[in-house]
Chains A and B, each alone.
Chain A
Amino acid sequence: MKTVYKKPESMTSATTIYCPGCHHGIAHRLIAEVIDELGIADRAIGIAPVGCAALAYDYFNIDFSETPHGRAPAVATGLKLTQPDRVVFTYQGDGDLASIGAAEILHLANRGFNITTIFINNAIYGMTGGQMAPTTLEGQKTTTTPFGRDLQIHGHPMKVSEILSQTAGVAYIARGAVYDPKHVMETKKMIKKAFQNQIDGKGFSMVEILSTCPTNWGLSPLDAVEWLKKNMEPFYPLGVKKDIDQEQ
Chain B
Amino acid sequence: MPKGKVVIDKEKCKGCELCIAACPKKVLGLSEDFNTKGYRYSTPLHPEDCIGCGFCAMMCPDVAIEVYREE
Given A2-B68, A3-B68, A20-B15, do A181 and B61 touch, yes or no (CB 8 Å)? no
Contacts of B59 in A (CB 8 A): 26, 180-181, 184
Given A15-B12, A21-B17, do A4 and B52 touch, yes or no (CB 8 Å)? yes
Number of A-B contacts (CB under 8 A): 82
Contacts of A68 in B (CB 8 A): none
A208 to chain B, nearest CB (A): 18
B18–A21 CB distance below 8 A: yes
Give Cα A18–Cα B64 distance, bound, in whole angstroms.
Answer: 14
B56 to chain A, nearest CB (A): 9
Q: How many residues of A contact B (CB 8 A)?
A: 30
Give Cα A19–Cα B37 distance, bound, in whole angstroms.
Answer: 12
Given A1-B68, A4-B52, A5-B58, do A221 and B17 touch, yes or no (CB 8 Å)? yes
B4–A4 CB distance below 8 A: yes
A230 within 8 A of B: no
B24 to chain A, nearest CB (A): 9
Contacts of A221 in B (CB 8 A): 16-18
A80 within 8 A of B: no
Contacts of A220 in B (CB 8 A): 17
Give Cα A3–Cα B70 distance, bound, in whole angstroms.
Answer: 9
Which residues of chain A (8-42) have a CB below 8 Å from chain B?
8, 11, 15-16, 18-26, 29
Contacts of B48 in A (CB 8 A): none
- 0/1 per residue, B1-25, Cβ < 8 Å to A? 0001100000010111110011000
Contacts of A23 in B (CB 8 A): 61
A26–B67 CB distance below 8 A: no
A4–B16 CB distance below 8 A: no
A25–B62 CB distance below 8 A: yes
With both beta carbons as reference points, the residue of chain B lying nearest to A1 in the complex is identified as B68
Give Cα A20–Cα B60 distance, bound, in whole angstroms.
Answer: 10
Give Cα A222–Cα B22 distance, bound, in whole angstroms.
Answer: 10
B35 to chain A, nearest CB (A): 11
A185 within 8 A of B: yes
Contacts of B57 in A (CB 8 A): 4-5
A1–B18 CB distance below 8 A: no
With both beta carbons as reference points, the residue of chain B lying nearest to A188 in the complex is identified as B58
Given A7-B63, A26-B61, A184-B59, do A21 and B14 touch, yes or no (CB 8 Å)? yes
Give Cα A44–Cα B12 distance, bound, in whole angstroms.
Answer: 26
With both beta carbons as reference points, the residue of chain A lying nearest to B68 in the complex is identified as A1
Q: Which residues of B contact A (CB under 8 A)?
A: 4-5, 12, 14-18, 21-22, 39, 52-55, 57-63, 65-71
Q: Which 6 A-B pairs have the closest CB atoms?
A: A25-B61, A21-B16, A5-B57, A20-B14, A1-B68, A4-B67
